[in-house]
Amino acid sequence: MRVATSTFNNEFIDQLNLLQQNQLRLQNQAATGQKLTLPEDDPAAMQRVLNLQAESLANTQYQNNIAALQNQATSTYGAINGLKTISDRAGEIATLADGTKSPQDLAAYATEVNGLIQQAVQLANTKYQGDYILAGTATGAAPFVATTDSSGNVTAVAYQGNTSVAQSEIASNVTATAQTLGANTTGSGPRGLITDSRYGADFLNHLISLRNDLQAGNTAAIAATDHPALAKDEDNFLFHISANGTLQARLTATNDLAAQHGTDLDGQISQNRDADIAQTITQLKQAQTAYSAALQSGSSILNLSLLNYLH
């Protein structure tokens, strides 16, 4: 019987290569802590990890979007609350300015309202990170432009923004906006903060009317026109404060869900990608033992002469 020693040699070398590759794979897992470094390690598991990582990146972007919206909503709330404070005081003045007040009292109130108008215009043109927050998507220019007289008193205010708001994705196929329109007279769409024809709101111009009537001593117009108009502005501010609070609560809840989902995704990625170090070291020792045994047995067999095979 003839034995083809070259066949044995080739098979032996192939087996050694397989054992060595297994050793190297386990050594790499022990060193990196990851059982997946190349697609061929486990194609199905690698695909799962890639899909999970893509989902994790999207989830992180949602959280970044939520954080940006939360900051913008907080800034907007500051402007709304400041305007609400001005509205409260203007309403008080409209109530106090009755027929019992002297011309001097009314003039003093007019001076105070003049200051409130200037504060209100400043708040209406509030910026956040360089953008005007009440301008809709036309954030590069001041949304409210005031016309003043020779004394610097505001005589009229016009809205220069638009009625569009930017949306951000906060979850898969779910969007939200933290933008509040300064004005909306179109009869549809988001509600305007300063001006909205649907709800009788026109705060800046109502303040101007109150000041003018105070200067003229026209207490009848204040009671019949200015006071009711300012009450509508007050209701509009309350609506926006409520809407802002609802938005912030929604963003907080959505962020909590995204954070939990991110933790779950990290766990799934780790489960598919990370190696069990204790198990890996045990397998590595077994692979090393098998490799050494193969070398020893192969060496013994290769040292046998051809006569040993013929016995």
DSSP state of 102: -
Residues with Cβ within 8 Å of residue 212, at least 6 apart in sequence: none
pLDDT for the residue 152 = 87
pTM here is: 0.77
Q: Is residue 161 exposed (0-12), middle (13-18) or buried (19+ Cβ within 10 Å)?
A: buried
The tokens describing 291, both together, are 């490799």
Give the span between the Cα atoms of 183 and 171, in whole angstroms.
29
pLDDT digit string (tens) for the chain, length 311 residues: 455 555 656 666 666 566 555 556 555 655 566 655 666 666 787 788 889 989 999 999 999 999 999 999 999 999 999 999 999 999 999 999 998 999 999 999 999 999 999 999 999 999 999 999 999 999 999 999 999 999 889 999 999 999 999 999 999 999 999 999 999 999 999 999 999 999 999 999 999 999 999 999 999 999 999 999 999 999 999 999 999 999 999 999 999 999 999 999 988 888 776 655 555 566 556 656 766 666 666 666 656 544 454 45
CATH superfamily of 53-266: f41 fragment of flagellin, N-terminal domain (1.20.1330.10)
* pLDDT at res. 310: 47
The residue extents of the domains of the chain are: 5-35+274-310, 53-266
